């Protein structure tokens, strides 16, 4: 199963996004993509953010509808945290970490603990040892 980073979900759901074609190409051959709570909340936040949405943010209700359609119509599950996540996260941050990478470290630990591949446009994930990453080139 594939854990998609927030940047992939956002590019996939916003046709005007410059990475939309690449996200769409991935989606068409996706290997059981899923959401986790932090990416779901991030997606809702971005969909309602004027700057992220190029001055055309969705209302809270509209964003929830987009999210719920993704979950129901596309059958995208929201996975619970796997056992061993805290230990995996502790291992990743033990050697030091930039404060801006907490969420990346959490997603990497989730993928590692659950045996999932992480799909992203972000090269920062390549820093996490043992993590299987599908880096989508924009």
5 annotated among ligand-binding-site residues: yes
54 annotated among ligand-binding-site residues: no
Q: How confident is the model at residue 78 (pLDDT cuts 50, 70, 90)?
A: very high
pTM beyond 0.75: yes
Residue 88: count of CB within 10 angstroms of its CB: 23
57: exposed, middle or buried (Cβ count in 10 Å: 0-12, 13-18, 19+): middle
Instruction: Please give the pLDDT value at position 96.
Output: 87
Give, in order, the Cα–Cα distances in Å from 20 to each of 13, 35, 67.
Answer: 8, 18, 17
pLDDT tens track for 93-127: 998 888 899 999 999 999 999 999 999 999 999 99
Taken in order of first residue, the domains within the chain and their CATH numbers are: 2-20+28-73 (no CATH), 85-135 (3.40.50.1010)
Helix/strand/coil percent split, the chain, to 5: 50, 10, 40
Q: In angstroms, rounded to a whole number, what is the distance separating the alpha carbons of residues 42 and 56?
A: 17
Which strands, in side-by-side order, build the sheet including 2-4? Answer: 33-34, 2-4, 117-120, 133-135
Q: Which tokens belong to 94?
A: 């033990």
């Amino acid at each position: 199963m594939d854990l998609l980073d927030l940047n992939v979900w956002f590019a996939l759901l916003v046709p005007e996004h410059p990475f939309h074609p690449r996200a769409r190409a991935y989606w068409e051959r996706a290997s059981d993509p899923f959401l986790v709570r932090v990416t779901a909340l991030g997606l809702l936040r971005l969909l309602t953010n004027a700057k992220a949405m190029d001055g055309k943010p969705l209302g809270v209700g509209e964003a929830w509808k987009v999210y719920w359609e993704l979950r129901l119509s596309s059958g995208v599950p929201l996975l619970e945290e796997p056992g061993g996540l805290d230990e995996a996260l502790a291992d990743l941050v033990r050697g030091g970490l930039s404060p801006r990478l907490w969420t990346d470290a959490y997603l990497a630990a989730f993928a590692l603990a659950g045996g999932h591949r992480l799909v992203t446009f972000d090269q920062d994930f390549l820093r996490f040892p043992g993590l299987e990453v599908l880096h989508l080139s924009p």
